[in-house]
Amino acid sequence: MKLKTLILTGLASVALTACTSAPKIPQLETGVLQEVKNLDVYPDTTNNKAKLTKFSDKCVIEFTGNLKAGKAVEQWSFKSLTLISGGSASFAKDGTSTATNFDLHDATVQKNFLALRNYFAKEALAQCE
């Protein structure tokens, strides 16, 4: 009986240790910090919006808007207010699509990023540092 109790106690200890020492999986998305709508952007879009989302290692601004020819989506990733990556995709009404990665060293790209980032509250952007 003592052997059986000892074995069960040992197995329970191993199981408990395995559960408590298992690596924690980091949460990828910590949530939407702010969403803004009807931005004044070029080229003109309708029903546009930009969403600022915080992830564990960066923040992402996703802009979507409707153009006359279809839909445009841009994503801008940054950390501590420094642009990490950016790109856009266009979806035409005829079913075709194109995608582009932005040249992060281009002055116009930097200007567009800063203009879009300025639509968000300073308190929301502060959480991206």
pLDDT digits (tens, 9 = 90+) for 50-98: 999 999 999 999 999 998 889 999 999 999 889 999 999 999 999 999 9
Any idea how long the chain is? 129
pLDDT digits (tens, 9 = 90+) for 68-80: 889 999 999 999 8
Domain ranges in the chain? 29-126
Is the torsion defined by CA of 97, 114, 86, 119 positive or negative? negative
What does pTM read for this prediction?
0.75
Under DSSP, is residue 11 helix (H, G, I), strand (E, B) or coil? Answer: helix
Least Cα distance to 90 among 68, 115, 57, 118 occurs for 68
Q: In angstroms, rounded to a whole number, what is the distance separating the alpha carbons of residues 8 and 11?
A: 5
Q: In angstroms, rounded to a whole number, what is the distance separating the alpha carbons of residues 86 and 68?
A: 23
Least Cα distance to 50 among 59, 60, 62, 41 occurs for 62
Q: In angstroms, rounded to a whole number, what is the distance separating the alpha carbons of residues 80 and 102?
A: 19
pLDDT digits (tens, 9 = 90+) for 98-126: 999 999 999 999 999 999 999 999 999 99
